[in-house]
Chain A
Amino acid sequence: MANPTTAGSAGAPPPKRNWSLRSRAVRGVLYQILALAVIGLAVWFLAHNTLQNMRVRGIQSGFDFLTQPAGFDIGELMIPYESSNPYWMAFLVGLMNTLRVAIIGIVLATVIGTLLGVGRFSHNALVRGLCYVYVEVFRNVPVLLQLLMWYLVMTSSLPGPGEARSLAGLFFISNGGLSYPVPVWGLGQGLAVAGLLAGAVLAWLWARRARTLFEQTGLPRPVLWPSLGLLLAGALAGWAIGGAPTDWNVPVPGDFAVQGGSSLTPEFLSVLIGLVLYTASYIAEVVRAGIASVPRGQTEAAGALGLAKGQQMRLVVLPQALRVIIPPMTNQFLNLTKNSSLAVAIGYPDVVSISNTAINQTGRAIECIAIIMLVYLSTSLGTSALMNWYNKRAAIKER
């Protein structure tokens, strides 16, 4: 504890320092020195043992292995990679795979979780009950078990790639994964994306203008439909200027595999579905708690002011609920990212799985585990920094 006697008013004479063991300040300093010494000794002890063990067993250390060829193939690539590439590229592939499943997972889990959380307040008893049962079932079963089960369903219950099950002749699902059609990328598609962006900018400008007009005149202007219209018009215009291409790369079932289109592997699908369904149950609870934290009087007061149901939700309830929701929601995003490390159990090549292979091949356990920890620490810190920034924006602005 700091010495409370040092806090005195400016005019008072400085209190005399008492260097006896009875002084709290002195003991505080001693405790701190002691704690640091114990920790330092422990670190030295562990490091000393480690170095000695490594010398005895002939284990090499250092990060130089990162530039050596990895020598193993990876089933899932977002950047070009082959087994003769160095280890650091393998780790990069793993990192990209982790981020891919985490980002898509966070978006999907937020959407599904929010729907489920709002569903708990439905006027319909069946919807309410269904959301409750979903949350309780998915929350109370280990996520690893869920991942393993989804993987089992994907690989053993689905037919082989030769007789893939078709959905509308466009999507094919088999134990080799899900194939889906993609547009053949060309000028038209590029212009369509550009048009979409232009539409988004116009929509944003209109939303600002509508707000200014509303504040000046008090007359509400429609925002949602004109914005959607602008987006659609932009995309369509770009597409038409580019020559209105209609070429799609549609998957075709073959004798042994589905050809063409783009595809997702069963490993990716099971990790994604497992993580999304598990995290959605937690997000549903977060959203439910957030909405429940807004007193009913707020809704009633908004109604008394003449706001419509949608306006009550958008202008009064949601801004207050968001303040309660954001911090635990951040935790759930971080949990999803960290849980994506369980992908190692079903062979999805995320960063943990790549590290595991690298440890087995090179024996550089310390370095590889350090890489895993660094990756997750930096993603965790990055996500919380982003969410803290958003949280500050949503927090109460006190005047």
Chain B
Amino acid sequence: MSDTFQPIAPRPAPIRTEGFVPWAKANLFGNWASSLATVLLLGLALWWLPGLLNWVIFKAVWVPKVDQCQAAREIGACWGVVGEKYRLIIFGRYPFDQQWRPLVATLAMVGLLVASCIRVFWRPWLVLLWIAVMALFFALMMGGFGGLSFVPTDRWGGLPLTVMVATLSIVLAFPLAVFVALGRRSKMPAIKTICVIYVELVRGVPLISVLFMASFMFPLFMPPGMTIDVLLRVLVGITLFSAAYLAEIVRGGLQAIPKGQQEAADTLGLSYWQAQRKIILPQALALVVPGVMNNFIAIFKDTSLVTIVSLYELTGAMGLALDSDSDWRPFKIEAYLFITAIYFAFCFSMSRYSLWIEKRLSVSKNR
């Protein structure tokens, strides 16, 4: 037995698995196909990006001057068109000197939407807040009292109209959707048939045909001599349309509630409505929040269709702002990109929220 200490050979250092180089090795050059894709994509980027960046940023014209924009055509974007026209695009035909009113009204509405997304605020008084903000919105937009000049609804336009139509139609559609969803699960044949026909009929036709109906046929439905504002007609149309889709979402939530819950409620002697209100709906509606959110995003995007029945929401207001101005019309694509960015900002943040709330709501289900 030798007394000298014989150390074993040192182990090699562990392979680095963190940091950029190992990440790139695994994720960019994992095998030959992956390496090829990386090289191809980087090559494409090198080929395209300089021109694109020049167009978007470096050679773009940022001041609202027509002659500069004309000089830079095909080379750089003309963001000056946004600076020149943004008030017309965002507020449509609303009287120019009164545009602080739609601004305040829209900010209040968006603030309310954001507040409604936070769980701490899910309290009964939120309903009162909704009613108050809606009243504020319409009072501000309409005017006609206390020194505010009256603005008829056909002058409303742009982003306030988009936000209002989307929000109001979902809020009004929701109670209807709950009733239709309950009706579709009802054991009463007549009620069930009515609900099934309504849902399938509406889901089978495009929104534009509903809007056509609101604009062409609705006036015929009313008693002679009675006219209804076009905005109201369109609101009714979109509400009935989204209620059918929402009803299917709510029905999905109702189906996810185990049968035992209803049976337990029956055992306790609760009536049908008591059982729905106290046992079934609170559980089912919590489940459908992400679905409702996605439906809200869909309706928010679909409001762009009302421009076809001549209500000038964001898309329509943009067309209105540029089509009549031959100087700026050539730069329509930049204006399109501007409203695309607005829609994207709204829809993307809502879809992120929907994902987040989906995770939050399923916390209680995970063990």
Contact = CB atoms under 8 A, between A and B. Distances in A.
Interface of A: 1-2, 28, 31-33, 35-36, 39, 46, 49-50, 52-54, 56, 59, 122-127, 130, 136-137, 139-145, 148-149, 152-153, 156-157, 338-339, 341-342, 344-345, 352, 355-356, 359, 365-366, 369, 372-373, 376-377, 380-381
Nearest to A50: B220
A359 B340 CA distance: 32
Given A2-B187, A141-B344, A142-B315, A124 B34 contact: yes
Contacts of A345: 307-308
Contacts of B347: 139-141
A344 B308 contact: yes
Given A141-B301, A373-B209, A377-B204, A28 B188 contact: yes
Contact of B336 (A52, A54, A145): A145
Contact of B332 (A56, A130, A152): A152
Interface stretch (B64-72, B105-113, B221-229): B221-229
Contact of A377 (B205, B304, B305): B205
A145 B333 contact: no
B216 interface: yes
Nearest 8 A/B pairs, CB to CB: A140-B347, A125-B27, A365-B216, A32-B190, A338-B206, A142-B301, A142-B304, A341-B206
Contacts of B315: 142, 144-145, 148
A380 B209 contact: no
A54 B217 CA distance: 11
B208 interface: yes
Contact of A369 (B30, B216, B351): B216
Given A137-B344, A342-B208, A352-B208, A49 B31 contact: no
A2 B188 contact: yes
A interface secondary structure, majority = helix
A256 B135 CA distance: 59
Contacts of B203: 380
B213 interface: yes
B227 to A, nearest CB: 11
Nearest to B28: A125
8 contacts: A126-B28, A126-B38, A140-B297, A152-B336, A156-B330, A338-B206, A341-B208, A380-B204
B348 interface: yes
Nearest to B189: A32
Nearest to B162: A142
Contact of A46 (B34, B190, B221): B221
B48 interface: no
B220 A145 contact: no
A39 B193 CA distance: 12
Contact of B201 (A122, A124, A366, A377): A377
B125 interface: no
Given A365-B217, A369-B209, A49 B308 contact: no
A52 B224 contact: yes
A376 B343 contact: no
B304 A376 contact: no
Given A365-B216, A369-B216, A123 B209 contact: no
Given A142-B304, A149-B333, 4 more contacts: A140-B347, A141-B340, A142-B302, A338-B207
B304 A144 contact: yes
B208 A344 contact: yes
Given A123-B27, A141-B347, A142-B315, A49 B222 contact: yes
B interface secondary structure, majority = helix
Contact of A136 (B205, B340, B348): B348
B351 A140 contact: yes
Contacts of B307: 144, 345
A376 B209 contact: yes
Contacts of A144: 304-305, 307, 315
Interface string B278-310: 000000000000000000010001101101100
B191 interface: yes
A130 B194 contact: no
A1 B38 CA distance: 62
A140 B354 CA distance: 13
B188 A31 contact: yes
Nearest to B223: A49
A126 B41 contact: yes
A43 B222 CA distance: 12
B191 A32 contact: yes
Contacts of B189: 32
Find the residue from B38, B42, B205 having the highest chain A CB count within 10 A. B205
A142 B166 CA distance: 13
Contacts of A50: 217, 220-221
Contacts of A137: 344
Nearest to A374: B205
B47 interface: no
B98 interface: no
A102 B191 CA distance: 35
A177 to B, nearest CB: 20
A376 B205 contact: yes
Contacts of B333: 149, 152-153, 156-157
Contact of B224 (A33, A53, A342): A53
Given A32-B189, A124-B28, A338 B220 contact: no
B37 interface: yes
A36 B194 CA distance: 8
A31 B302 contact: no
B206 A126 contact: no
Nearest to B23: A125
Given A125-B27, A145-B304, A338-B206, A1 B224 contact: no
Interface in B317-367: 330, 332-333, 336, 339-340, 343-344, 347-348, 351
Find the residue from A152, A345, A381 having the highest chain B CB count within 10 A. A345
A284 to B, nearest CB: 14
Contact of A381 (B204, B339, B343, B348): B204
A143 B298 CA distance: 10
B336 A123 contact: no
Contacts of B27: 123-125
Contacts of B38: 124, 126
A123 B30 contact: yes
Contact of B206 (A31, A136, A339, A381): A339
Given A141-B347, A149-B333, A342-B208, A54 B220 contact: yes
A140 B224 contact: no
Contacts of A352: 206, 208-209, 212
A45 B265 CA distance: 40
A376 B210 CA distance: 12
